[in-house]
Amino acid sequence: DAKTTQPTSMDCAEGRAANLPCNHSTISGNEYVYWYRQIHSQGPQYIIHGLKNNETNEMASLIITEDRKSSTLILPHATLRDTAVYYCIVWSGGSNYKLTFGKGTLLTVNP
Amino acid sequence: EPEVTQTPSHQVTQMGQEVILRCVPISNHLYFYWYRQILGQKVEFLVSFYNNEISEKSEIFDDQFSVERPDGSNFTLKIRSTKLEDSAMYFCASRKGDSRWEQYFGPGTRLTVT
């Protein structure tokens, strides 16, 4: 699976959009971009995933660049409860679908 | 909304003792996983389980570890003789299968080995 690069930490004001970037320049054509988050000491939580097109669900939007070398997770109106470590995982579904977590981005939403 | 549950939430044990961590995956899911997270470190894959057998295991998952699905609902992780370095959060996850790849994680069991 391709390697991802994320900033170590980011801050966001409550009520504003949080834009979390992820670089995956070595992504291959059959690899998806998945986002999970982990609120302190809890189990990781699935957020969203995409292949080529932008995706939106009730939690977030995922914008993938046309060359697929980077993506941005957008939380449109961040709340204090969105403070968490956000993981971008590039994954083709192989290796029995195990997830390989990096260090992720610690997003702190400030009041 | 269905969710993965884990018991106990916190387990304290002495080095050399056996522990069993329990998980109840989401009922119609077919694929099951254990991960662990040592304090301050990354979430690490331990083992995946499908069709009543291990489909993949990591280097961490040595002979001291075993998994079992004893009935139609529970999924257990056993550590036969715990070591200090086994102290970690252990997360169970399940996946539906078919074309659904996202995994749903439980709240975790904090294992403290003294």
Cβ–Cβ below 8 Å for B31 and A91:
no
Cβ distance of A44 and B89 shorter than 8 Å: no
Question: Three-state SS for B84?
Answer: helix
- At residue A91 the predicted structure's pLDDT band, cuts being 50, 70 and 90, is confident
Query: Percent of chain B scored above 90 by pLDDT?
Result: 87
Q: Which tens digit of pLDDT belongs to each residue from A56-88?
A: 999 999 999 999 999 999 999 999 999 999 999
- Give yes or no for residue B91 having a pLDDT over 70: yes
Tell me whether residues A49 and B101 touch, CB distance under 8 A. Answer: yes
Is residue B9 classed as helix, strand or coil in its secondary structure? coil
Contacts of A67 (CB under 8 A, 6+ apart): none
CA distance B8 to B27: 19
Tell me if chain B has a CB within 8 Å of the CB of A86.
no
Q: How far apart are CA B66 and CA B47, in angstroms?
A: 9
Give the pair of three-digit tokens for residue A50.
């995409």
Put simply, the chain B residues between 17 and 76 with a CB less than 8 A from any chain A CB are: 31, 33, 35, 42-45, 48, 50, 55-56, 58
Q: Which of A101, A81, A89, A75 is nearest to A35 (CA)?
A: A89
Strand partners, B50: B31, B53
CA distance B103 to A56: 18
